[in-house]
Structure 1
Amino acid sequence: MKNFLNLISDSLTDVKEIMPWDLEERRQANPELMIVDVREPYEYDAMHIEDSITVPRGILESACEWDYEETIPQLVNARQREIVVVCRSGYRSVLAAFSLHVIGYTNVVSLKTGLRGWNDYEQPLVDKDGKVVEIEEADDYFTPKLREDQLRPKQQG
């Protein structure tokens, strides 16, 4: 049986990843670059890369097609554009980039290390009001906070 990380690993045979400094360079070189943030709306509202668009992972495929309630015309028309998919840590974005690749997007990559790595590289993030989020605030936000019931059970004996 495969687990989450196996699924990510398998998807990487078809998905290229770039590092935060590569994204910074790509943004400067290509003003038409589209950044697609596949986190949940509350995550995007807390902090995101300025000028990125939010398309939650759960509706991504229907957002890419006409005639759905979730259709995002900007995304439907971007099949030939350079797209960088981002998430918190770079896992959901790999799965999302793989889906985009499968449905015909031709120039899609995933941001390795996600927004956590973007913040570590000290690149700016903004909140839903466009206010810059302090690096330390983002560090705290991106630090995993697992509950006891989310941890793997300890093996007996």
Structure 2
Amino acid sequence: MTENLNHDRWLADIRSRVGEVAASEASTRQRGGALLIDVREDSERATGTPDGALGLSRGFLELRIEQAEPDRQREILVLCGSGQRSLLAAEALQRMGYRRVSSVAGGMGAWKAAGLPVTAGVLDSDAAERYARQVLLPQVGEAGQAKLGAARVVVIGAGGLGAPVLLYLAAAGLGHITLIDDDRVERSNLHRQVIHADSRVGLGKAESSRMTLAALNPRVRVEVVTDRLRAGNVETLIRDHDVVIDGADNFATRYLLAAATRRIGIPMVYAAIERFTGQASVFDPRREDSPCYRCLFPEPPSAADAPNCSEAGVLGVLPGLVGMVQATEALKLLLGIGQPLVGRLLTYDALAMRFREFTLHRDPHCPGCGAEARFDGYADLERLCAATG
């Protein structure tokens, strides 16, 4: 009894310093320019939040309010579930120097009872909890997370590069991942292809990857294609996707991808690794200033000049780092944030622990995208790569 009395007195003391407004009055002030902040947890807001409210959980309020609203003179209204957390949040904002702060009496319950407009939660409770730390980013938010959930990405290869790309895209909440790989897991893969396991040696890489991703995030739909990318299927397999991730280990596949992504108009996130070095870039045919893969490699090099991992060897951690660069670039493209690696080639030297960036201009004489470029069919590209050995 005494504890309840003390608690009530404590809340009354805060009310006297902070002040409360009715939900209907808060709505009127919001329309007049006040900022309404919903300080409930992400999982609570998933069921709905006041129209136009900024979602900022109570535990992160002091850390993020200055970024969200640097003007300490703007009127701020704070809402929670029942009106108690919002009092504490409003008091905290006052201590930070925000002068015009009030708590919404009765919280979300009072808001709904007054029949005021509510926006349905973009994310369900599972997604709100699963992606909570990512949704906190202003550049992502619930709308951005919903974009990721609606996105379709195709990953070519579940090897050294594909493994980290697949893991991180699935963890980030991609809605649909198409994985194309016709190879099988070998024990020599395991030091770098961390999506597989020793117990799956001999199993198809695509199916092994699907099993891992299902355990990591069952919300993501993973479609596996146990076939090799060829002239006859390249457009069919990559069409209707938002981004193509190049995790291939051969030039024939890359030249097919370069041509197909350019013809269809899908950005291609490129990377390659060898021994202790790696490189990455983005080729985006939707942009007039973007070079294409053949601006970088006009003609396929010989096998002697560009050996694969089984011939030259590779440091196991190297594809993990470069693959995460690819995953990052894919997320940026899907969210429309940051500056993608278009027109830039990022290189990494693991021995020196050094990144370098080179400008990659669009080549007016490029056989893939230049003024005189001609397309004689995907089969012609296959023959071109085969001729180099």
- Asked if Structure 1 and Structure 2 have the same fold, meaning a TM-score greater than 0.5 normalized by the shorter chain, the answer is yes
**Residues 42-79 of structure 1: CA distance to partner in whole angstroms, max 9, x if unpaired?**
111211011111111111112234xxxxxxx222x131
In structure 2, the residue matched to 1:52 is 53
In structure 1, the residue matched to 2:71 is 78
In structure 2, the residue matched to 1:16 is 19
Tell me: higher relative CO, structure 1 or 2? Use CA pairs within 8 A at least 6 residues apart.
1
| Structure 2: distance between partners of 1:47 and 1:6 | 31
Is 10-19 or 56-65 further displaced after alignment?
56-65
Letter in 2 for 1:50: D
Query: What SS is found at the alignment partner of 1:90?
Result: coil
In structure 2, the residue matched to 1:137 is none
Pick aligned residue for 1:107 from 96, 100, 104: 100
Query: What SS is found at the alignment partner of 2:49?
Result: coil
1:25 and 1:54, CA in 2 relative to 1: closer, same or farther beyond 3 A? Answer: same
| Structure 1: distance between partners of 2:71 and 2:11 | 24
In structure 2, the residue matched to 1:87 is 80
Q: Tell me, yes or no, if structure 1 residue 39 matches structure 2 residue 32.
A: no
Report % sequence identity: 31
| Structure 2: distance between partners of 1:48 and 1:35 | 10
1:126 and 1:109, CA in 2 relative to 1: closer, same or farther beyond 3 A? Answer: same
Pick aligned residue for 2:30 from 19, 27, 34: 27
Q: TM-score, normalised by structure 1?
A: 0.69
| Residue-pair matches, total | 120
In structure 1, the residue matched to 2:133 is none
Q: Which has the larger radius of gyration?
A: 2
| Structure 1: distance between partners of 2:30 and 2:10 | 29
Letter in 2 for 1:84: L
In structure 2, the residue matched to 1:118 is 111
The runs of 5 or more residues in structure 1 that have no matched partner are 66-72, 131-157
Shift in Å, 1:128: 2.3
Shift in Å, 1:4: 4.5
| Structure 1: distance between partners of 2:95 and 2:103 | 14
Shift in Å, 1:26: 1.3
| Structure 1: distance between partners of 2:91 and 2:50 | 21
**Residues 96-117 of structure 1: CA distance to partner in whole angstroms, max 9, x if unpaired?**
0011011100111000011101
Query: What SS is found at the alignment partner of 1:105?
Result: coil
In structure 2, the residue matched to 1:134 is none
In structure 2, the residue matched to 1:63 is 64
**Larger strand share, 1 or 2:** 2
Query: What SS is found at the alignment partner of 2:16?
Result: coil
| Structure 2: distance between partners of 1:9 and 1:45 | 30
Is 86-95 or 119-128 further displaced after alignment?
119-128
| Structure 1: distance between partners of 2:61 and 2:9 | 21
Shift in Å, 1:10: 2.2
Letter in 1 for 2:19: K
Query: What SS is found at the alignment partner of 1:25?
Result: helix
CA contact (8 A) 2:30 2:36 kept: no
Query: What SS is found at the alignment partner of 1:46?
Result: coil
Shift in Å, 1:25: 2.0
The runs of 5 or more residues in structure 2 that have no matched partner are 124-389
